[in-house]
Structure 1
Amino acid sequence: MSMKALLSLSRRPSRLLMGGTALAGLVATSLAATPALAAEAVDKPAPVADLVKAVNIPYDRFTLPNGLTVLVHTDRKAPVVAVSVWYAVGSKNEPRGRTGFAHLFEHLMFYGSEHVSGNFFAPLSEVGATDMNGTTWLDRTNYFETVPTGALDRALMMESDRMGYLLPAMTQARLDAQRAVVKNEKRQGDNQPFGLVDYEKLETLYPAGNPYHHSTIGSMDDLDKASLDDVKGWFRDHYGPNNAVLVLAGDIDLATAKDKVTHWFGSIPAGPKVQPVKVPIVPLKAPVEKTIHDSVATTRVYRMWAVPGLDNPQYLPLSIGATILGGLASSRLDDALVRGRQIAIATEANTETFAQGAQFVVSADVKPGQDAKVVGAALDAEIARLIAQGPTADELQRATMAYVSTQIRALESVGGNSGKAPTLAEGLLYSGDPAHYRTELEAAAKVTAADVQAAMKTWLSHPVFALTVEPGTRTAGGENRGGDDALPPAQPAPPVANTAATTPSADRSTLPAAGDIPPLPFPAIERATLSNGIKVYFARRSAVPTVAVRVAFDAGYAADPVGAPGTEALLLKLMDEGTEKLDAIELARARERLGAAITAYSGPDQTGFQLDALDANLAPSLSLLSDFVRHPGLRDKDFARVKDQQLAAIDAEGQDPDGAALRVLYPALYGPGHPYGTAPSGIGTRAAVTAMTRDTLAAWHQAWLRPDRASIFVVGDTTLDAMKPMLEKSFGSWKVPVSAAPVKNFAVAVPQPRARILLVDRPGVPQAQIEAGELLDAKGTDDLVNLRTANQVLGGDFLARLTSNLREDKGWSYGVYSMIGQREQQVAFRIYAPVQTDKAGPAIAELRKEVTGYLGTSGTKPVELGWAATGSARKLPGMFETSGGLLEGIAGIIQFKRPDDWYTRLPERYRALTTTDLDKAARAKLDPSHLMWVVVGDAAKIRPQLQDLGLPVDEVKATD
């Protein structure tokens, strides 16, 4: 399944499966292996209905006297518990003058309560919390973390404290600090290519005064006007326990949950009940056409409609219709506009589904040289054809298989954004039933072609919003958008019923202890060797009937020929266009029928191909993977089109603020002739890609993707004995070439480090993108545990010094991070810092001060060691909870030449670290005088700020 399918098939924006999901793992629900899903070879895909029958998330439910609803799901596969708190308040509940309040409060609730002073991330990081965050959307606000079982009391105490005891800690200073952070988050979103489209979409499809008309982040004016009394009143009116759902999922049982939840939440009084909000879906009265300009590489044409949400059963056939239209790798739009007429370089269709409404969005990126009006007409024709004819039986099967398999994979973890805890909470909050996921899957399995046709005819025959985004200078940004003066005024909260607490208040004088750290449940790595010498590494995960197989080659974009960056990336794109036996459409349809995700991926040192398969369809899926890897079609008729797509991607990366910065930074650090001297995307330069031929790619495939450079990794509900014959059949017959394997040349001199600023001009943008880097005297295969832990203190964690300075103290940025590269050879240290334009120069000064101070007289503090080292040890069980996390861990052990017990030994190593260890590692490798800086932004406003930094400034262009 293509990544586009994963994105399109997400049920709603809060559950999007982002880039890398196919590599992140497979389903981890409480699935019982049924006869229909036995791990046996099958000639045909398992019926969708049989897959649905196997999905089950058993839960218990209870409600406290104060109205808090609690759901409990037991899953003992790892010693962790997911804590997920969902409040029935989102941006749709905001009255006139208070847009952005729900999201602003999401931030404020992380920054101290009466009994938990300061940042909530610190005490949770100390106990090893993973998947720790909060999000706000139109219909809800949620907070979540996954903690080791022994730390559950701490998590519950903190969640209950911000629910019941937040206001005593609310100060004007905290409000001002988080208001500044939110405003920078708004600027950062607006600064992205196509960053203004969401404003256009909501403001056009929903009339003024509709609760979905304004954006969740709100308007700058409303954020600026928010007073401390306004904010306190908003909390009192919305965040009571009777407006919340708490889910505990993982290493927990009902009796324990009742005891702990009652202890921590039972004394919190109920608050006013959040009143229902009506969100009418009113089709446009007449078509709307609009063209805007933005810093984009190619013209994009949109067609949009407002359609029903989760409260109307037609949302499901509409979503499946969007998948058929533009959500599959073999979608109608791709087949007609991209592969057929070749007038577009990419297409997409999806439904962005909320509780009470949705947007049906279709788009196409216009191929350079083509007419946007012609592309728009072609979109219209394909939409009309699907409405008139309905989907075929095969399209429906592939779309529903994709829908069901995507939703199943989203349930891999117990928590996070899309695991079992949020799935149960969302079902109850939006649909009144925690098991709504199952109702939805069963309904998807029963959707007919007539259902899809009828739903699309009903809603897409209404007038359309046709938006075109063309390259150019923005005439207006998002600074003054996101609000709605037509919203109704604030109303007094309804009276609160007398709900005297029946539970005594818990002792909140100290934070609960973290509990003991249990041994890390990292399974043994089993090994085998195929007849042609390919090494196989296996780990069993028996909880679910799924299997992940990764075939990794010692190649990567570091193996691109000198002067031809982007070769490997272009080859992978062309490989996705079919095998010798199957053309692009046939290959895509074969994957979709099986519910199999086959993903090609590129890194600096490795080229990989991963299969995420349903157990019932494993044998044919594995055969398809083998054909994909070993026998690519590489057809001439596909080559020119794929090359155009990569050239468009290069242009798009140059328009993206972060992408443009990295296209400058890496060639400057390593030198353009070095294997690592290209942007981390690996897509190359215009000149190099333009010069490539189909034969160039075929030669690279033959030279680098060969069995003596391959390793196979398998994680899933099977055994090595069962897997080896299938792998032997699929890959064991692959003969090793007679010629010697090529070798990557890292004996290339890198430039002498020279501190300077490279300025890339982007007139009129609302933010400056800062990147900095230096090469280290270290390889990825070295033992860098101490150095990486030191980086956690400096900039590698949300609690780190760089973020604390520019986000929390100054309010100049939404987030700042530093990182140590994951490369087998020489690694780089890098800083990422998007900041408001008027603070670009001061931000660089502050970043330099922080790095210099940490390496000088202000080394690691004991409290920092606590959350960076001890916290890292406690996070390990959460890191390997999923099959995907386990596969990544095993692959990393092999790639970076680590012993099998690397991760099981890490907790003790972390606990033994001292502040001196971290300071010594950082001072030995980092040198602030070697940092090279890249700034992408409005040069006219930024250049004067750089004059007092004492660094030479050169204005450059992002590499073509």
Structure 2
Amino acid sequence: MTIRPFLAALMAVSLVPIVLAAPPAGKPLKLPEIKFEKYTLPNGLTVITHEDHRLPLVAVDLWYHVGPLNERAGRTGFAHLFEHMMFEGSEHVGEKAHIKFVQGAGATDVNGTTSFDRTNYFETLPANQLELGLWLESDRMGFLMEGLDRVKLANQRDVVRNERRQGEGQPYELANEKMYQLLFPKEHPYYADVIGSHADIEAARIADIRDFHQQFYTPNNASIAIAGDFDPVKLKALLTKYFGPIPKGPAVAPVNVETPAITAQRRAVVTDTVKLPELTIAWLTPGVFQPGSDEADVAMFALGGAKASRLDQALVYKTQVAQRVTCQLDAEKLAGIAECDVIAKPGVKLEDLEATVWSEIAKLQADGPTEEEVTAAKAVHLTRKITGLQRLGGFGGVADTLNQYNQYTGDPGYLVKDVASQQAVTASGAKAAAAKYFTKDSAVVVYTVAGKKELNDVPRSPGDTDADVKIVNPYSEAFETEQAWRKTPPAPGPALSFHLPVPKTFTLKNGLKVYFVEDKNLPVLSAQVEVRAGSENTPFAKAGLASLTGATMGEATTTRDLTQLAEAQEKIGTRINLGTTMDGMDAALTVTTNNADQGLELLADVMQHPAFADKDFDRMQKQRLVAISQVADSPQAIAQRVGPLLIYGEHPYGASATGTLDSVKALSKADLVEFYKQHYGPADAALTLVGDVNEAEAKRLAEKYFGGWTGTARAGVKLAPAPAAPQRHIVIVDKPGAPQTALFAFGQGVPITTPDLQAIQVMNYTLGGSFGSRINMNLREEHGYTYGAQSAYQLYAQGGGFLAGGLVRTDITGPAAKELMYEISRFPTAPPTDAELTMAKDARVHAIPALFETTSATAGALGSIFLYNRPLDYYTTLPEKYSKVTAADVIRVAKEDVHPINLIIVAVGDKAKIEQGLKDTNLGPIEVRTPTGELVK
């Protein structure tokens, strides 16, 4: 997986108090500091550890100090390609077995990613599976060569190129690559996309890949961070056992590339199959943790990073000439990249947008950001860091943060200095940064306009490529014999006992239910209001009403207009997130506890006093209509709209939550007001509070801010029965020039309240619900047809849907459809083996603690208890429910709930290139439909 980080990752952990000199708002706040131990093994491997015994989890995060930073021209994408090769199987683990081991152990946050400066691999495991994680990571560090051959390389070249095509198929992605090519000279490591070009990926040969591993995937070029529930003495012994014998590799020379300044503006025009043009302006700024980087970041926040930023005000709200504004700063080792993207409204010229952007930049350079803007930027960054401390692994988790700070500063505990640097930014410093870095002469400007998507794809290599290459074992026979003990996977430690939270609950006089869990680990509070005001309450003719109501509520209240509401949130470092699902609507925020009162007051204001002002409704309706028209830019988005419509027809489950052009055009402000009156009120709502507040404080906050809520919300509607299931057939939606086909099979599913829920989840885990599932292993690992394929049940209160598929290569759309249907069709008669069943059950059980790793995740879990009338101990009983699932249960639900003959296969792609292949499958009759689902005759 390639990543382009957005700013700094969410940060780290422990509890050594440091009082900030100038807290953003409310009471003084104590900032946690990372507690860690750092040491180096004799072979050069850097080890960084952090103990945290809150949950029986441990995160293993291994950083190799290699990325495009270390590549050369003609070999772009090697670091990312090798990231994929690391999952192919090492000598003692077995072919393609790595992911099956970790997922079978109940791992979460499992991935590998490549950015410009590093490649990392991580997994969060149940604490009793720590040794398994060390066995797996050490084997692919030291013993990958024995399993690497030309067949595996050819397969992963296909997979990586499918990943690139997946990106190329996304709107505006081509402009992003062009932006980097303008920012950096061709010989610079950041010139090419992290994923590399098609030509360079296809040119990779087995000797190149093996040399790359021997040079960079060595203990002395890596650091491993481990955070969580472990015994440090036992951990050192395990690290010595598994990593100690791996020989030290050659020294890796430091990369000291100068990034030349841009002294004359560079411009380009990119054509893409998009409905709306986009303006991109980017600049070079200081590298990560370098002087001036934080000041530039604050200036970028004021320009276009806040909800009511200057560009949002000028382009989105006042004149409404832009659909969206996004500004961000990504700081890497050799340079920072500040970028603003502005998508135009229909009929608006990019030249006019650009003139306004430069006008706003000139004002920022002349006057600087206000003190309020600087305070908001600091508060937002600080909250992100503190809330990030809750996660052990994954992107921006504790282990990842320790490694990040270590790589760039040599100090895993750099958090204190990092925060101090950000908090020290002044308005004058941010003004100077804007004047220095965001100039016209130092900018690159890219226009994306409608036109042909120009791609530089290349043919696959011949089948006999590398056939004559001799593979030489890197180790002596004696060393291999010494390491033969690695063939036996380590047994898990003693069984874990889950201590999952059971919420305390109370009800206010107005009927509002309150669920509360105290978590004193960090000074953080997450609050969420859940209301049964989902899309199922909306008739088909008014599709989009529920989600538009929820979205408009977040714009303004009766006492705060859009700007005031946005600034009030950012002042305390938070943002209220509102989301509408089929079954409900939730509004949530996370604040540091010194801002608990301010945060709850804002959340209550949004929920109880939405303005539904004419100007807000008008703007939101127009934005929604434009967004719906943009669906045609994405093959996958088209498929996700057309499939449910064909299965359910004019039923709420057949409608997109955002609505159609006709349904949204027909809505009025009065519709929103009436929907709010009917479905929002304390008697049919719940407030969840999770964090560092005691029960008395929770009751005070709930009563003070929600005790006066009135309203007469009615219970949700009883839906009409689903229509009869269709007979299997194929639907093609023509998307000329699409680099891939969005290939999905759609069918009817089951309600979330089914007593068979756990059996269905265990069954689907093997079918398509995990990386090691049958569908993904077939389409991705065996055939190289896709970057990833899956199956899923969309579980709603009164029913749901089933879908399976992914984005596949255009030229093999037919064969991919045949393989997809093969796996689905054979499953009822070829249910999981004993090994697959055990793996699926263990994975489901051991992943449960991760649902409660953060306060916001816990609040969401509690919201589902209310939404689906679950018992308070629902999650504590889940392990037993999964454990009781039998092979007979899985066989039964597979036969009852997997209906291959009733699936509609939707293929959104270039009809001229895919139609014959789909005909050749004989999977059913073919019809052609428009992107909105109408039949083409």
Mapping 1:546-565, distance limit 5 Å: 546-565=524-543
The one-character-per-residue Cα deviations of 1:838-890 (angstroms, maximum 9, x if unpaired) are 1111111111111111112x221112112111222122223322223322332
Alignment-derived partner of residue 839 in structure 2: 867
Structure 1 segments unaligned to the other structure (5+ residues): 1-9, 18-26, 482-495
- Aligned match of 1:58 in 19, 29, 35? 35
Distance 1:625 1:14, change over 3 A: closer
Amino acid at match of 1:64: L
Is the contact made by 1:786 and 1:918 (CA closer than 8 Å) also made in structure 2? yes
Aligned to 1:796, what secondary structure does the other structure show?
A: coil
Is the contact made by 1:396 and 1:449 (CA closer than 8 Å) also made in structure 2? yes
Alignment-derived partner of residue 891 in structure 1: 863
Distance 1:893 1:478, change over 3 A: farther
In structure 2, distance between residues paired with 1:11 and 1:509: 37
In structure 2, distance between residues paired with 1:274 and 1:585: 51
- Alignment partner of 1:577 is 2:555: yes
Is the contact made by 1:163 and 1:241 (CA closer than 8 Å) also made in structure 2? yes
Alignment-derived partner of residue 465 in structure 2: none
The one-character-per-residue Cα deviations of 1:220-260 (angstroms, maximum 9, x if unpaired) are 22222222111111111111101101111011243232221
- Aligned match of 1:881 in 853, 863, 884? 853
Is the contact made by 1:32 and 1:544 (CA closer than 8 Å) also made in structure 2? no
Alignment-derived partner of residue 835 in structure 1: 808
- Alignment partner of 1:695 is 2:667: no
Structure 2 length-normalised TM: 0.94
The one-character-per-residue Cα deviations of 1:7-26 (angstroms, maximum 9, x if unpaired) are xxx99448667xxxxxxxxx
- Aligned match of 2:727 in 751, 754, 757? 754
Alignment-derived partner of residue 707 in structure 2: 732
In structure 1, distance between residues paired with 2:639 and 2:196: 29
Aligned to 1:814, what secondary structure does the other structure show?
A: strand
Alignment-derived partner of residue 771 in structure 1: 744
Aligned to 1:192, what secondary structure does the other structure show?
A: coil
- Alignment partner of 1:825 is 2:798: yes
Q: How far is the alpha carbon of 1:506 from its aligned partner?
A: 8.4
The one-character-per-residue Cα deviations of 1:195-226 (angstroms, maximum 9, x if unpaired) are 21221011111011011111111122222222
Alignment-derived partner of residue 113 in structure 2: 135
- Aligned match of 1:659 in 612, 637, 657? 637
In structure 1, distance between residues paired with 2:73 and 2:292: 31
Amino acid at match of 2:732: L
In structure 2, distance between residues paired with 1:392 and 1:215: 36
Distance 1:535 1:933, change over 3 A: same
- Alignment partner of 1:926 is 2:926: no
Alignment-derived partner of residue 469 in structure 1: 448
Amino acid at match of 1:645: Q
In structure 2, distance between residues paired with 1:912 and 1:118: 31
Distance 1:641 1:14, change over 3 A: closer
In structure 1, distance between residues paired with 2:568 and 2:501: 33
Aligned residues: 909
The one-character-per-residue Cα deviations of 1:250-283 (angstroms, maximum 9, x if unpaired) are 1124323222111111111110122111332223
Distance 1:779 1:423, change over 3 A: closer
Amino acid at match of 1:651: S
Amino acid at match of 2:690: V
- Alignment partner of 1:399 is 2:374: no
Sequence identity (%) = 35
More contact order relative to length (CA 8 Å, sep ≥ 6): 1
Q: Would you identify which runs of 4 or more consecutive aligned residues in structure 1 move more than 6 Å?
A: 33-37
Alignment-derived partner of residue 466 in structure 2: none
In structure 1, distance between residues paired with 2:496 and 2:8: 31
Mapping 1:217-616, distance limit 5 Å: 217-310=195-288, 312-461=290-439, 462-474=441-453, 476-479=454-457, 507-616=485-594
Alignment-derived partner of residue 124 in structure 1: 102
Q: How far is the alpha carbon of 1:385 from its aligned partner?
A: 1.3
Larger mean Cα displacement after TM superposition, 122-131 or 569-578: 569-578
Q: How far is the alpha carbon of 1:781 from its aligned partner?
A: 4.6
Is the contact made by 2:744 and 2:805 (CA closer than 8 Å) also made in structure 1? yes
In structure 2, distance between residues paired with 1:556 and 1:569: 8
Is the contact made by 1:28 and 1:882 (CA closer than 8 Å) also made in structure 2? no
Distance 1:809 1:902, change over 3 A: same
Q: How far is the alpha carbon of 1:161 from its aligned partner?
A: 0.9
Larger mean Cα displacement after TM superposition, 572-581 or 230-239: 572-581
- Alignment partner of 1:30 is 2:14: yes
The one-character-per-residue Cα deviations of 1:560-581 (angstroms, maximum 9, x if unpaired) are 2440111122222322221100
Mapping 1:185-224, distance limit 5 Å: 185-224=163-202
Is the contact made by 2:93 and 2:487 (CA closer than 8 Å) also made in structure 1? no
- Alignment partner of 1:45 is 2:29: no
Q: How far is the alpha carbon of 1:748 from its aligned partner?
A: 4.6
The one-character-per-residue Cα deviations of 1:748-778 (angstroms, maximum 9, x if unpaired) are 5424422111211110111000121111355
In structure 2, distance between residues paired with 1:334 and 1:551: 27
The one-character-per-residue Cα deviations of 1:417-450 (angstroms, maximum 9, x if unpaired) are 1111000101111222212232111111010112
In structure 1, distance between residues paired with 2:518 and 2:612: 35
Alignment-derived partner of residue 150 in structure 2: 172
Amino acid at match of 1:224: E
Alignment-derived partner of residue 852 in structure 1: 825
In structure 2, distance between residues paired with 1:34 and 1:241: 35
- Alignment partner of 1:936 is 2:908: yes
Root mean square deviation of aligned Cα = 2.3
Alignment-derived partner of residue 138 in structure 2: 160
Larger mean Cα displacement after TM superposition, 774-783 or 511-520: 774-783
- Alignment partner of 1:100 is 2:90: no
Amino acid at match of 2:664: V
Distance 1:28 1:603, change over 3 A: farther
In structure 1, distance between residues paired with 2:133 and 2:842: 17
In structure 2, distance between residues paired with 1:763 and 1:280: 42
In structure 2, distance between residues paired with 1:377 and 1:215: 29
Distance 1:57 1:35, change over 3 A: closer
Aligned to 2:328, what secondary structure does the other structure show?
A: strand
- Alignment partner of 1:683 is 2:667: no
Alignment-derived partner of residue 795 in structure 1: 768
Is the contact made by 1:349 and 1:363 (CA closer than 8 Å) also made in structure 2? yes
Distance 1:243 1:786, change over 3 A: same
Is the contact made by 1:781 and 1:897 (CA closer than 8 Å) also made in structure 2? no
Alignment-derived partner of residue 469 in structure 2: none
Distance 1:506 1:620, change over 3 A: farther
Aligned to 2:590, what secondary structure does the other structure show?
A: strand
Structure 1 length-normalised TM: 0.91
Aligned to 1:231, what secondary structure does the other structure show?
A: helix
Distance 1:341 1:827, change over 3 A: closer
In structure 1, distance between residues paired with 2:550 and 2:517: 28
The one-character-per-residue Cα deviations of 1:345-382 (angstroms, maximum 9, x if unpaired) are 22121112212212111121112222221111001111
In structure 2, distance between residues paired with 1:510 and 1:176: 29
